[in-house]
Structure 1
């Protein structure tokens, strides 16, 4: 609930500061200060110690990236970036996430006041969710994090799992595995971390559904492509992938697995009605994957608000797939993973640092 949430609103436009502050106030959030630039935002955070900051990207004196970095260093506070819908701002927004911002929300174009009014419920919801994130502690796993269920930290390196000529007691990858990842608030950095930990030898086909608007998913795919061994791109209608490749669901499009044959899958993009109030929806991709793919399938739910992905996890489990959820301790927002776990269809709950190993365990078999 918004009751008791205290916010600082930073934007160089007086008009936008007023619109955002009014929306948050109407939603029950106490706006304790407004800032015209990054330097004022840092001072306001130190003085008022709010629960959350809404941070414009481009501001004079000190921009949103520098301000976020200062806030994280001097007075760690959850930051929600408010970004204009441009390629340049997409790059800057991801840089802000690298500096510690929790998530971002795109500023509307056109008639700003009318658009903001239409999006007000979404803005209030994400501000409240971001405010609940604990940025004062390290959100990572490790040997002592989470409940340890199914932990694979001691399971050996990827080189111990090579397929050809594996000796008894070693493990080998199953043929033609597919991984479907769903995430939302706080998810981009988590998705990148998981993908960085997956060896190309696993030959996964990877489908990524991150709740993210149009104009940002292409840049997100480029980041993953650069940081992982997998060839990852933004999904297009009719896109096909095989082993060692991945697709990121395009913003404002559902990604459906259309067909699967000989280790290659083809996707279709649709603008059907939002599911769980979002598009792209994790459930849409997971359901279609469960219905279409007859080779090994793994479903993963990472941090995020809402219940998207819970039914998809259920469908993957019913189809004989393996299912994993991020644990509460390392989730920025324990909404989507919690709902998935509550279905009773999650095989393993893991801290973020152990998830890549958990995926590998799910697609390896013991050689006897």
Structure 2
């Protein structure tokens, strides 16, 4: 359970947030504070894992209070702001979110927002303290990294295929899932692994550093016109699409692309898969892991149709079964697997 302290200048907002948190499965409401002084007391007395507050609570104290908070505590926070008070800085341990109209929330809206808030908190928490990511609760990996279940036999159409890359799309719950995924892959994997993860700009370098330190695979923030190396992992930078360009001798390079967002997303999994379909064709493996929404679903189907091998994570091992579900229900999945079996399948394919 993630312990949540609610602090806010509005009693109505605090009350609605408490009701929302009490409807979640992974969040625990530990108390509330109506002022910055009460918040500081709550931090020491309640020992929360995360704070939810509003920008006005900090601004009413003095203009620099929010900056002081971000520099004097390691407890991450979600800070709501009104449109007329949009923040212009992004400290590492704070996630700014526009304030919804909590006062108008119906019972059904509260339940709907409870799921969203739970995933938002999990993402913020894992972005600041990656090693404590709640997705570990859903993992079915053995402690030694082994897999107890046997995989089904792959169709003979994929036997002996000279795959060129593994492409991974992931969003909510990604950091914890990716760590388990990369630990399962291990050293000396014969293909490059290229990942599009939806993550804020001030977290992407932290994520890469953390994954590189916790796994045995070299992990990089992708650079423009780089030829990816086997056994290395390349992440799409924040707010930049990853695409590809073909080169002679059956190779390809990563191209960083600043085209418009696709369905409000940049980087976009669909954009990466679409480019892979043009450049790599059937000679790639596409994996869709945990995440909200449907990014990657349409182009995952396209890749499957042209002969690529596509894998979607199953519901039980997903932090949120959105992206993999959309790809599966659209018909884009060659195989549905729990997280712990995906690395084993990739090794069997290559």
Q: Is this a same-fold pair by TM over 0.5?
A: yes
Out of 274, 284, 290, the position equivalent to 1:297 is: 284
| Counterpart in the other structure of 1:189 | 176
Shift of 1:198: 0.8
| Counterpart in the other structure of 2:36 | none
| Counterpart in the other structure of 2:49 | 68
Question: Does the CA contact (< 8 Å) of 2:193 and 2:234 recur in 1?
Answer: yes
When residues 185 and 262 of structure 1 are mapped into structure 2, their CA distance, relative to the original with a 3 A threshold, is same
Between the aligned partners of 1:323 and 1:332, the Cα distance in structure 2 is 20
| Counterpart in the other structure of 1:45 | 29
SS of structure 1 residue aligned to 2:295: coil
Between the aligned partners of 2:187 and 2:53, the Cα distance in structure 1 is 33
Residues 113-124 of structure 1 correspond to what in structure 2 (within 5 A)?
Answer: 113=86, 119-120=98-99
| Counterpart in the other structure of 1:220 | 207
Out of 169, 187, 190, the position equivalent to 1:203 is: 190
Question: Does the CA contact (< 8 Å) of 1:9 and 1:21 recur in 2?
Answer: no
Between the aligned partners of 1:222 and 1:136, the Cα distance in structure 2 is 19
Asked whether 1:139 is paired with 2:126, we answer no
Between the aligned partners of 1:330 and 1:303, the Cα distance in structure 2 is 8
Shift of 1:250: 0.6
| Counterpart in the other structure of 1:51 | none
Structure 2 unaligned runs (5+)?
21-26, 33-38, 55-65, 89-94, 103-108, 123-133, 152-158
Residues 1-368 of structure 1 correspond to what in structure 2 (within 5 A)?
Answer: 10=6, 17-18=8-9, 30-32=16-18, 45-46=29-30, 62=43, 67-68=48-49, 112-113=85-86, 119-120=98-99, 128-131=115-118, 138-141=137-140, 153-154=149-150, 175=162, 177-262=164-249, 264-294=251-281, 296-361=283-348, 363-364=349-350
Between the aligned partners of 2:249 and 2:41, the Cα distance in structure 1 is 55
Shift of 1:312: 2.3
| Counterpart in the other structure of 1:73 | none
Between the aligned partners of 2:201 and 2:11, the Cα distance in structure 1 is 22
Shift of 1:264: 4.3
Shift of 1:19: 8.6
Structure 1 unaligned runs (5+)?
1-6, 12-16, 35-42, 49-57, 70-78, 97-103, 144-150, 156-171
Between the aligned partners of 2:11 and 2:301, the Cα distance in structure 1 is 38
Question: Does the CA contact (< 8 Å) of 2:288 and 2:296 recur in 1?
Answer: yes
Task: Map Cα deviations across residues 124-177 of structure 1 (whole Å, 9 max, x no partner).
Answer: 98863343799799302359xxxxxxx98346xxxxxxxxxxxxxxxx986453
Question: Does the CA contact (< 8 Å) of 1:80 and 1:130 recur in 2?
Answer: no
When residues 31 and 207 of structure 1 are mapped into structure 2, their CA distance, relative to the original with a 3 A threshold, is same
Shift of 1:62: 3.8
SS of structure 2 residue aligned to 1:138: helix
TM-score where L is the length of structure 2:
0.65
| Counterpart in the other structure of 1:158 | none
Between the aligned partners of 2:200 and 2:275, the Cα distance in structure 1 is 22
SS of structure 2 residue aligned to 1:346: coil
| Counterpart in the other structure of 1:101 | none
- Aligned CA RMSD, in angstroms, stands at 4.8
Task: Map Cα deviations across residues 70-111 of structure 1 (whole Å, 9 max, x no partner).
Answer: xxxxxxxxx9899x99xx99xx68xx8xxxxxxx97888x97
SS of structure 1 residue aligned to 2:265: coil
| Counterpart in the other structure of 1:54 | none
